[in-house]
């Protein structure tokens, strides 16, 4: 079956540091890939997505590229802020799944200190 | 514009009891998906409702059931509660045909089973 593996946290960074969160997946066919973010006390929010190989999703300074050859979708941001402190989830939607069914990774907590 | 709202926020039950959780989708959305998020884990897909029917289901026993009403709101029912059912239950809504892979999540209902 489909699965998503992402790096364990917490990841602790200083403000303006470079952030990378690794995500790899196992799926048949051509899944769609997502990053969701969960800020403290809030619901999950879609951060970015990519629906086919070599697509780059980007939003709020975050980027991730769909790499089919390495089955990866790593999240990056060049200069983090304290407000980026949150839990980040990598997810996929299998190509035979309905649009509401996502397979999530375990999440990576990111803590950015001033 | 109200987002996805869930009630109650917190709930405490004992083993063997039954519970009903409620969700109102984002205004204009017609599809509701339910997820279970155990502590420190990513959300797990329970099922999805569209046009008042269950469209897809994850690997959850029949103790988990749901309903969607004509106004698109939804309920999640869990019978014969087990200690392992303690989790955050998330509702997500979307709109068929309009960027339907973008899910909007509520803040969840925290269920504790004692």
Helix (H) or strand (E) holding A34: strand A32-38
Percent of chain B scoring above 90 in pLDDT: 87
B41 lies within 8 A of chain A by CB: yes
The pLDDT of residue B1 is above 70: no
Minimum distance, in Å, between the CA of residue B81 and any CA atom of chain A: 24
Number of residues that make up chain A: 114
Give B22-50 pLDDT, tens digit per residue.
Answer: 999 999 899 999 999 999 899 999 999 99
A47 lies within 8 A of chain B by CB: no
B90 lies within 8 A of chain A by CB: yes
B55 lies within 8 A of chain A by CB: yes
Q: Which of A42, A45, A48, A41 is nearest to A23 (CA)?
A: A48
B94 lies within 8 A of chain A by CB: yes
| CB atoms A46 and B4 under 8 Å | no
Q: Residue B99's pLDDT is what? A: 64
Strands B10-13 and A108-113, sheet pairing = unpaired
B contact residues 10-39, partner A, Cβ 8 Å cutoff: 31-33
Mean pLDDT across chain A, nearest whole number? 93
- Among A7-11, B11-15, B108-112, name the one with the lowest average pLDDT: A7-11
Q: Which of B55, B49, B83 is nearest to B67 (CA)?
A: B49
φ/ψ of B22, rounded to 5, equals -125, 150
A23 lies within 8 A of chain B by CB: no
Residues B88-108, mean pLDDT to the nearest whole number: 86
DSSP string, A35-103: EEEE-TTS--EEEEEE-STT-EEEETTEEEE-BTTTTB--EEESS--GGG-EEEEEEEE-TTS-TT--E
Instruction: Say which of B42, B55, B56 has its CB closest to residue A106.
Output: B42
Instruction: Say which of B40, B101, B106 has its CB closest to residue A93.
Output: B101
Residues A100-109, mean pLDDT to the nearest whole number: 92
In SS3 terms, chain B reads as: CCCCEEECCEEEECCCCCEEEEEECCCCCCEEEEEEECCCCCCEEEEEEECCEEEEECCCCCCEEEEECCCCCEEEEECCCCHHHCEEEEEEEECCCCCCCCCEECCCEEEEEC
């Amino acid at each position: 079956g489909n699965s998503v593996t992402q790096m364990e946290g917490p990841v602790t960074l200083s403000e303006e540091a470079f952030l990378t969160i690794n995500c790899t997946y196992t799926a048949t066919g051509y899944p769609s890939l997502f990053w969701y973010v969960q800020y403290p006390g809030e619901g999950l929010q879609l951060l970015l997505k990519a629906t086919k190989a070599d697509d780059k999703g980007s939003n709020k300074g975050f980027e991730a590229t769909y790499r089919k050859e390495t089955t990866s979708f790593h999240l990056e941001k060049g200069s983090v802020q304290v407000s980026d402190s949150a839990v980040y989830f990598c997810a996929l939607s299998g190509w035979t799944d309905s649009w509401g069914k996502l397979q999530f990774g375990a999440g990576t907590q990111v803590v950015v200190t001033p | 514009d109200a987002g996805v709202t869930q009630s109650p926020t917190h709930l405490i039950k004992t083993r063997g009891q039954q519970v009903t959780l409620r969700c109102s989708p984002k205004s204009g959305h017609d599809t509701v998906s339910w997820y279970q998020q155990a502590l420190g884990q990513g959300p797990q897909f329970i099922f999805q409702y569209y046009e008042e029917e269950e469209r897809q289901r994850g690997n959850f026993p029949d103790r988990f059931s749901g309903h969607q009403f004509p106004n698109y709101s939804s309920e999640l029912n869990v019978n014969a509660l087990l200690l392992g059912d303690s989790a955050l239950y998330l509702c997500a809504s979307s709109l068929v045909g309009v960027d339907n892979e973008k899910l909007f999540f509520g803040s969840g209902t925290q269920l504790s089973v004692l």
